[in-house]
Structure 1
Amino acid sequence: MMATAENGSRIWYQSFTDPAVDAPYFDRLTRRVQGLAGPGFSIDVHGMQPGDRHLHRLSEMRCSVQAVRNAVAAQEQGYEAFVVGHFQEPGLFEARAAVDIPVIGLGEATMLHACSLGRKIALVTISPVFVAFHEEQIARHGLQHRVVAVRAVESQVADYNRAFTDPETYQRLKQDFSRQSAPLLELGVDVVIPAGGYPMLLFARERSFTIGGAMVLDGLPVTVLAAEVAARLKHLNGTGTSRTPGFALPSAAALQEFVQSP
């Protein structure tokens, strides 16, 4: 029987970072995400070893397999929802087809909420490498007419880790982000999304953050609350992933083969 929020509902938040290698970020992410939990909910933040560290499709694919296996583990351990806490969210659809608990993607949840805040949305990612990834992601979610542009700052993970405690580095990254966002305003963009956990966490200190009137949307609370809503709806009336052929649950044999494969 599914636990209700009143009895204590657990959410598994899956980061694609290594808790040891990326400790400055992972520790702050854990405190931030756990602090967003509503009454009756608790959130466990999990990482990966190794994390997604090579800015390449092969790393994304490797991590996506681990994420789906962890979604299966989360369901077996009684979690009420699973969050793919990587903006590109590789493995999102596969995880939804693997488990019967809600699976929420950081990128999808943020972009969908942005659609309720403005007419045109844009992403600013942490590296030019990810621009093509996000353009494919936007098309996968059918949001091409709402998410109209993707830009990138030239940054490294080390820059964000340093910016958490160094005001000068923080201001430089904020200025770089604002500089990349400025041309988006000429396109009529209403909402700018920092496309990644690192910039979202970094800019969380800015309340009502805007650039030229455009809202800069922090997707972390959006995604946590989306997971809570999905868990509540699942308990309330059984609302869940459609089980038409595209998201049909696997047979026991197919699931076992996937989980046990090297």
Structure 2
Amino acid sequence: MRIYWQSFIDATASAAYLAKLSSYLNEIASPGTTVEVHGISPPDRGFGRLSEFRCAVQAVDQGIQAEADGYDAIVMGHFQDPGLYELKSAVGIPVIGTGEATLHLAAQLGRMIALVSLDDVYRNMHREQADLYGLGHRISHIAGLNILPSDFSAAFAGDEVAKARMIDGFRKVAEPMVEGGADVIVPAGVLPGLLIGGEYGLKVGAAPVVNCAAVALMQAEMQVRLHRLNGLEPNRGPHCCRAPEQAMGDFRQLAAQGFRRG
């Protein structure tokens, strides 16, 4: 099984993180599964809706190519899942949204879910995301660490002091959430998910901390197996009908050549 993992991080600027992520995913993958991590350049930066939209276009285009290259599944390795449904409509292989998979698992672990995101700018996006997945009423808290992807570099490069500092900062954000009634803590990003959620048995109070990187990978493996077993795929009627060839061609031309101004 070959899984294409689409990160929204630049492969050069965050090489230590992507190397750690690739090593971790392949270490926990089932026998016979390989995971190939790919970045985006420019990465998600200047956080906000426009950057998410731009990265979504790149990710969808790269996902279409991943199917053509023979991958068995695609993981959108960015918690906000921009372009998720568009990519699901464009390919016939399973497409897993890290945020979608993690929120649905978190809803099985506790009643009220708290999200710790990279930045407060994502708070409304996470609310909208949870509403889209039918879980808006289960989200009790959302707060940002207000840090940049580069702030994780030292921890992923092996600096234990930096790692401890990051985990301590995460706890300081999460503890008031648990005191306020949150049952499950979700690091809303693969960066904090890999660093913090990878700690065995990590809890904040009684609230388990969900490792979104592991959840997304294992969901991908499950969906590939179900697809092979009985052809299970998204609803191809009104929910997520397959894009016609003309739409596919127009989209890929746009991604390759940009707009023609008329």
Deviation at 1:169, TM superposition (A): 2.5
Give the Å deviation of 1:76.
1.1
Report the CA distance between 1:229 and its aligned residue: 0.5
More off after superposition, 250-259 vs 149-158: 149-158
| Conserved 8 A contact 1:100-1:241 | no
TM-score scaled by structure 2?
0.93
2:84 to 82, 92, 96: 92
* 1-structure distance, mates of 2:180, 2:191: 26
Distance 1:205 1:69 in 2: 30
Q: Does 1:37 align with 2:6?
A: no
Q: 1:136 Cα deviation (Å)? A: 1.6
Mapped pair 1:64 → 2:56:
yes
1:3 alignment counterpart: none
Q: Distance in 2 between matches of 1:107 and 1:91?
A: 12
Note the 1:1-262 alignment, pairs <5 A: 9-164=1-156, 165-261=158-254, 262=258
Tell which deviates more after alignment, 127-136 or 251-260: 127-136
Structure 1, gaps ≥5 residues long: 1-8
SS at match of 2:58: helix
Contact 2:194 2:212 in 1 (8 A): no
Counterpart CA distance in 2 for 1:40 and 1:25 is 24
Q: Is the 8 A contact 2:8 2:40 kept in 1?
A: yes
Displaced runs of 4 or more, over 3 A: none
Q: For the residues of structure 1 that align with 2:142 and 2:118, how far apart are their CA atoms?
A: 11
Query: Is 2:47–2:121's contact at 8 Å kept on the other side of the alignment?
Result: yes
Q: CA deviation at 1:249?
A: 0.5
Equivalent residues of 1:117, 1:191 under 8 A apart: yes
The 8 Å contact of residues 159 and 169 in structure 1, kept in 2 or not, is answered as no
Query: What secondary structure sits across from 1:247 in the alignment?
Result: coil
Q: 2: distance between equivalents of 1:197 and 1:130?
A: 14
Q: Is the 8 A contact 2:198 2:211 kept in 1?
A: no
**2:58 is aligned with what amino acid?**
Q
Instruction: Give 3-state SS (helix, strand or coil) of 1:168's partner.
Output: helix
Distance in 2, matches of 1:112 and 1:186, equals 23
Q: Distance in 1 between matches of 2:190 and 2:7?
A: 9
- Note the C-alpha offset of 1:204: 4.3
Deviation string, structure 1 residues 56-100 (Cα, Å, up to 9, x no partner): 221111110111111211111121111000011100011111111
In 1, the alpha carbon distance for the partners of 2:115 and 2:121 equals 13
The answer on whether the counterparts of 2:26 and 2:33 sit within 8 Å (CA) in structure 1 is no
- Structure 2 spans left out of the alignment, 5+ residues: none
Q: Which residue identity does 2:88 align to in structure 1?
A: R
TM-score by length of 1: 0.93
- Structure 1, residues 39-65: CA drift from partner, whole Å, max 9, x if none? 222111111111112212211111101
Check the 8 A contact 2:6/2:76 in 1, yes or no: yes
Cα distance in 1 for residues equivalent to 2:165 and 2:3: 35
User: Quick one: percent identity of the two aligned structures?
Assistant: 40
Q: Kindly tell me the number of residue pairs found equivalent between the two proteins.
A: 254
